[in-house]
Amino acid sequence: MLLGGVLALAGCGEKVAWKQKLTVTVETPDGPRTGSAVQRVRIFDQAGLLEPITPIEARGVANELRGEAVAVDLGDGRYVFMLIGGASHLTQRVLEWPEPWFPDGARAVARFDGTADVPFDKAPLLVTFTDMDDPASVKRVDPGSLADTFGAGYRLQSITLGITDEPVTEGRVEAVLPWLESIGRERPTFIPNPPRLSTQLTDPEIQLLSSDSFSTELYK
């Protein structure tokens, strides 16, 4: 009972949450193609009312993201994905907010009404698969030059972020990549056998890529 009371007190700290809708639009020779995902971000004070008795390392503000990557169907069985890594901090990079970030800035973000353009250099990683059935065929996509990957006529038109009341999307990416959950149980990275030391990695984001960059819900 005492522990339950302590945990309840800890849960009384500041917390701010919102749902963000990310939309990616790509120009293709057959016209624009759009994909979107709704993700939930939660920012919270870890110690809550128990900060005076909480170890220093356990204090502070944490963030959690729930949701999935954005998948854009480019036609002909080709897709581009915008991953979830970095998405929980995207509002901080894109929107203006008052200091301090927590709780004032986070509250301002949660109240944001509208849609903001996400500069391509601040967007999460874009990837594709040259063979949609082969996780090891994952390739980085340069947001400034989709033509390098997909050919002439392909261009990233926009990435937008909005705060929404829509439900968190689930299953869209898994519908496109049905092996997503099983491959994460089978091996730790899409591309097998990464180098042992991180200094030996030539492209860490790709070489260490795995299912958890596509959805937070696979192994809950």
Q: How far is the CB of 74 from another protein (least distance, A)?
A: 24
Q: How far is the CB of 182 from another protein (least distance, A)?
A: 10
Q: Are the CB atoms for 91 and 41 separated by under 8 Å?
A: yes
Nearer to another protein by Cβ, of 27 and 181: the residue is 181
Binding interface with another protein (CB under 8 A): 3, 6-7, 9-11, 46-48, 50, 54-55, 57-58, 60, 62-63, 65, 85-86, 88-89, 124-125, 184-189, 192-199, 201, 204-205, 208, 210-212, 218-220
Nearer to another protein by Cβ, of 43 and 74: the residue is 43
Specify the amino acid at residue 16: V
Q: How far is the CB of 204 from another protein (least distance, A)?
A: 5
Q: How far is the CB of 14 from another protein (least distance, A)?
A: 14
The CA distance from 42 to 64, in Å, is 5
The three state secondary structure string of 26-93 is EEECCEEEEEEEEEEEEEEECCHHHHHHCCHHHCCEEEEEECECEEEEEECCEEEEECCCCHHHHHHH
Burial of 63 (0-12, 13-18, 19+ CB in 10 A): middle
Nearer to another protein by Cβ, of 152 and 199: the residue is 199
Nearer to another protein by Cβ, of 153 and 219: the residue is 219
